[in-house]
Amino acid sequence: GVRSSAFKESFSSSKHLHLCEIEDQNLVPEANREGLNGLTSLELRQCKDLDCLVDTTTMNELTSAFTHLERLSINYMDGLESLCKGHPPQGFLKSLKELLIRDCNKLQVVLSMDELLYNREPLSKLQSLELENLAELRWLFKGSPHSFIFQSLKVVNIGGCGVLKSLFSPSLIQSLVLLEKLQIRNCHELKTLLAEPESDDEIMESKSSSLPLCLPKLKTLDIHHCSKLEYVVPITLAQGLPSLESVSISQCYELKQVFGMAKEQDGVQHDGLLLLASLQHLNLEWLLKLASFAPQNYIVKAPALKRFYVYDCPQLTNSPIQHVHKKLELRLESVGLSAFKELFGNTKNLLVHRIWDDKILIPDLVNLEHHSQAMMGFKYNGEPSE
């Protein structure tokens, strides 16, 4: 390893910088006291001594840093504790579009920001966020309710963050107007995607806000191996998913509902309609405690649903999904059929394997094949029907 300060003269004119195994504890001010504002791309790898990018605790005269950086990739940095130590300088990461952090075992929060500092909208241009194998990550972002504005964020991919318990605060959800893809995997302490308000400001804002929760552009939702997740999103947010096309959930062993009730509404009788107008693909696998897709007495309309796969969901007794696509492909394995009988009339292709209430299926098949031939592609336990 070498100290990057040996090359600090060339840093001032660099646009792209790739550093591996350097011995510095920070880049600003150790490697460059001017803030590396000319950089547009930075990749760091295996810099075990680096504990932050910027340290403002040692110098008061730093006015700005990384103001033009668009892509930041940080990999295998065992010593990294934060992106910025001390108050973030003006314009810190204001131009950032892509952020990737992987295998940094000490990092507890991606960015912590106080609303009263210079940066009114940090990371407002961020389009892609990828976090992988961050063993101690407890928060994505920590700050006042409106510290972070993510109006440009389109893709979020999070995996292997074993102590992360929630993702987004309600106020942060409101800013995700362009989010298209959300992928979560191997986050075994994750209990909910939507964090409960913590600070007094957040609680007051949550109670006073009349804006419905909404992710208007979200198309893809994939969640896998999150063993403590009890429901994916509250039903109040599910009402605001007009663009959702694909949902895939697997190996979430505590999951009871895909769309659930918030704590304060749990136990209260509700009747409602959930319209998922764009949903085309729904995949549910190895969800051992899943009892229902939505809260009791809710009807789910999914007029575009073309493929619905359910595998090994033994507790699923209620699937309130109705009004699906007229050529639905339905695959059921290791599951009871009673939850899906309302869908049989619209099913064009049905594949069932290892089911335990055949009596529900067989009379209907005779009737449907004889009258409407609605199940022309039917297979039973992998064998074509006679």
pLDDT in tens, 61-109: 777 899 999 999 999 999 999 999 988 888 899 999 999 999 999 999 9
pLDDT at 358: 56
In percent, the amount of the chain with pLDDT more than 70 equals: 79
Residues 315 and 227 in one domain: yes
Report the domain count for the chain.
2
Residues in Cβ contact with 304 at an 8 Å cutoff, skipping those fewer than 6 apart = 245, 277, 278, 279, 280, 325
**pLDDT tens column, 144-153:** 766 678 899 9
State phi, psi for 76 to the nearest 5 degrees.
55, 55
pLDDT over 50 (residue 331): yes
pLDDT at 115: 40
Residues 210 and 290 in one domain: yes
Has residue 3 been placed in a domain? Answer: no
pLDDT at 255: 97
Residues 273 and 382 in one domain: no
Residues 301 and 175 in one domain: yes
Of 279, 303, 325, the one marking the end of a domain is 325
Handedness of CA 17, 21, 26, 29 (dihedral sign): negative
Has residue 129 been placed in a domain? Answer: no
**3 state SS of 122:** coil
**pLDDT tens column, 208-260:** 454 678 999 999 999 999 999 999 988 989 989 999 999 999 999 999 999 98
pLDDT over 70 (residue 368): no
pLDDT at 373: 36
Nearest to 146 by CA among 166, 125, 116, 178: 116
pLDDT over 60 (residue 383): no
Identify which has the larger pLDDT, 338 or 216.
216
- Across 291-303, average pLDDT: 92
Residues 347 and 292 in one domain: no
Has residue 124 been placed in a domain? Answer: no
**How many C-beta atoms lie closer than 10 Å to residue 268's C-beta?**
8
Cβ 50 vs Cβ 19: under 8 Å = no
pLDDT over 90 (residue 113): no
Has residue 317 been placed in a domain? Answer: yes
Has residue 266 been placed in a domain? Answer: yes
pTM of model > 0.75: yes
**pLDDT tens column, 268-282:** 556 689 999 999 999
Average pLDDT, the chain: 83
State phi, psi for 63 to the nearest 5 degrees.
-100, -30
**3 state SS of 244:** coil
Of 278, 301, 325, the one marking the end of a domain is 325
Identify which has the larger pLDDT, 382 or 271.
271
Residues 294 and 321 in one domain: yes
Residues 160 and 306 in one domain: yes
Residues 357 and 316 in one domain: no
Cα–Cα distance for residue pair 280/277, rounded to 1 Å = 9
pLDDT at 174: 87
Has residue 372 been placed in a domain? Answer: yes
When mean pLDDT is compared across 29-33, 300-304, 314-318, the lowest value belongs to: 29-33
**In 41-176, which ranges are continuous DSSP H helix?**
170-175
**pLDDT tens column, 28-71:** 888 777 889 999 999 999 999 999 999 988 876 777 899 999 99
pLDDT over 60 (residue 199): no
Has residue 47 been placed in a domain? Answer: no
DSSP letter assigned to residue 198? -
List Cα–Cα distances, 190 to 15, 25, 254, in angstroms: 38, 32, 11
Has residue 13 been placed in a domain? Answer: no
pLDDT at 59: 75
Nearest to 308 by CA among 336, 349, 255, 251: 349
Range of the domain at 355: 337-386
Residues 370 and 278 in one domain: no
Residues 211 and 274 in one domain: yes
Residues 169 and 190 in one domain: yes
Residues 270 and 341 in one domain: no
Residues in Cβ contact with 94 at an 8 Å cutoff, skipping those fewer than 6 apart = 67, 119, 121, 122, 123, 124, 125
Of 325, 345, 370, the one marking the end of a domain is 325
pLDDT over 70 (residue 2): no
Cα–Cα distance for residue pair 183/221, rounded to 1 Å = 6
Nearest to 243 by CA among 194, 179, 193: 179
Identify which has the larger pLDDT, 269 or 116.
269
Cα–Cα distance for residue pair 110/228, rounded to 1 Å = 22
381: alpha, beta or left, given left = phi > 0 and alpha = psi -120 to 50? left
pLDDT at 43: 97
Residue 64's identity, in one-letter code, is S
